[in-house]
Amino acid sequence: MRYRPEPAPADAPAPSGTGVLLCNLGTPEAPTTPAVRRYLAQFLGDPRIVEAPRALWLPVLHGWVLRTRPARSAAKYRTVWTEQGSPLLAWSKKQASLLRGYLHEADLRVAVRHAMCYGQPAIAQELDALKAQGCARILVLPLYPQYSATTTASVHDAVFAWGRTVRSLPELRLAGAFHAHAGYVAALAGRIRQHWQAHGRPDVLLLSFHGLPQRMADLGDPYPQQCHETARLLAQALGLREGQYVTTFQSRFGRAKWLQPYTAPTLARLGQAGTGRVDVACPGFVSDCLETLEEIAEDARDTFLHAGGREFHYIPALNDDPDWIRALVSLVQQHLQGWPAA
């Protein structure tokens, strides 16, 4: 093992600062087939994402999935791409900027950067940048409210992998789930109330979370329990009774059984049953992305309306909502306790 050289102590001041690295899943660099293929190769090549024997999975990944899926995914990305690029990257960058500003207003001189677990800017690159800024202490905060080995643990893996290459490691803190954090739940409730004040209330509020293979849950992943707890707390904050909201799971991949009920079939049943209006929120995504803007706001809408539903509303993710940024400040302050940040 070779560790990268560090500046000699006499050549650089001793690091003394504190940094925060916000981490999200990732995105291709462009909505093109080659860029999506590179992204999917990294994403689906992670053993945390696909828990299958490598000798069986990698030939399938490189021999079939990466030959057929990138073009279809690139077409979907093109429907949501913006002048700022990927929506997920644009919102993550803005959240980091707003968090930095709020912390500085509170006299907390903390360096804040954002990174992606897959794609750019990479976690290792941004940890290097925080070190170069003089950070002796770094808090890594995955932007996944509900913990899963496929998401939060993948971020932690990337941090540990970076640490194995570094000679002089900073102090590190790795945050976990915040599915029941009061500020996060209040921000979600506020976002939904704002939408209802402007557009009226639905017959049913559908809370759609990203899916997970059922086998992973059976092996002890706490993700489904945390999703249901978030949904329960959110419904409580909104004053909803049983039957006024439903919790579902989206983004199924492959033929294996995933967490149920599935989002699309649930919307189809609601439409067939004569439900007039459905509003959909995605509490597991703090930033709008392909899974919310294309899969829900476009495809799920079509599913519900074609099944007989009359009106469909997608309620945007938290994005740059001030209540969410204040909740993020609270989370950071909670995890920075005991570290100098002035």
Q: Which residues are annotated as a binding site for Fe(2+)?
A: 210, 291
| DSSP tally for the chain: helices H, then strands E | 13, 8
At CA 80, angle to CA 79 and CA 84, rounded to 5? 130
In the chain, the DSSP E strands lie at: 17-27, 110-119, 135-142, 171-174, 204-210, 245-250, 277-281, 311-314
- The DSSP line for 11-35 is GSPPP-EEEEEEEEEEE-SSSSHHH
Please state the separation of Cα 31 from the chain's center in Å.
19
d(CA 135, CA 187): 30
Of the candidates 342, 322, 336, the one whose C-alpha atom is nearest the C-alpha of residue 102 is 322
Is 310 strand, coil or helix?
coil
Per the annotation, binding residues are: 210, 291
Per DSSP, 10 falls in state: G
Let me know: does 159 contact 115? Beta carbons within 8 Å.
Answer: no
d(CA 252, CA 263): 9
Query: Is cis: bond before 121, omega within 30 of 0?
Result: yes
State the Cα torsion 187-190-195-198 to the nearest 10°.
-140
d(CA 313, CA 296): 10
Query: In terms of residues, how long is the chain?
Result: 342
